[in-house]
Amino acid sequence: MSTDSNDRKLMVLGWLFHLGGLVTLVLAACAYQFVISGLITRQESDNAEEIESLEILLETERDTSVEFANLKAELARLETSAEAARQRIPETPQESEFLAQISEAARDKGLAINNFTRGAVTVLETHSQLQIRLTGEGDYASICGFFETMASFSRVATVSQMNLSVLADSDIYPLDMTMTLYFGARAPQGGNRG
């Protein structure tokens, strides 16, 4: 009996080892599954966050690209406009040529010019300017026609001050105005884009 009893004990012990191995294997598989599942879940969560941030970045990049294209087009338009304005601004004052144009426009429209006075030259960072004072007289139509003709000049000039008097019982109005002539256009210092 002792052999049978020992065989049974060995068999039970063998089954216990097998059961212990199976339990260990199941526990190891569960732990492995839990750890791997946790890592996969965590990785999926991290990937989802990264995808979301990349989508936001991509959308921002698209908006930035559109804005950049719009700004680039606006810059090209402004540079073209600035170049066109520079073409209308001579290098030197050339006030005699301008005064000849003014005189011809006044004569054509019936405005009598009494006096031209050359003012001071002002040198600024982007250009220089010259003040010219003009006095004259004319009726309403001649003054309006004179300004209309002057507006069509290719030369950049502005009326910086004007005084138009109305005399009692007269259709002739004395005109006193100061014009600014622009010349010597140049790019501002530090305006280079790197």
Can you give the pLDDT at residue 115? 95
- Average model confidence (pLDDT) across the chain: 86
* Strand partners for 25: none
Give the pTM: 0.57
Taking only the tens place, the pLDDT of each residue in 156-194 is 889 999 998 887 888 899 999 999 999 988 877 765 554
User: Torsions phi, psi of 89, nearest 5?
Assistant: -115, 110
Residues 103 and 74 sit within 8 Å (Cβ to Cβ): no
* Cα–Cα distance measured from residue 9 to residue 138, given in angstroms and rounded to the nearest whole number: 136
More confident: 11 or 178 = 178
For the domain covering 95-183, report its CATH number: 3.30.70.60
Q: Which residues pair with 101 in a beta bridge?
A: none
Are 168 and 140 in contact by the 8 Å Cβ rule? The answer is no
Query: Could you tell me the sign of the dihedral formed by the alpha carbons of 84, 90, 93, 98, in that order?
Result: negative
Counting residues of the chain whose pLDDT is more than 90, the rounded percentage is 39
**pLDDT surpassing 50 at residue 74:** yes
* Spatial separation of the C-alpha atoms in residues 140 and 109, rounded to whole Å: 10
Amino acid 194: pLDDT: 41
Single-letter code of the amino acid located at 94: Q
Query: pLDDT tens-digit profile of 99-146?
Result: 999 999 999 999 999 999 999 999 999 889 999 999 999 999 999 999
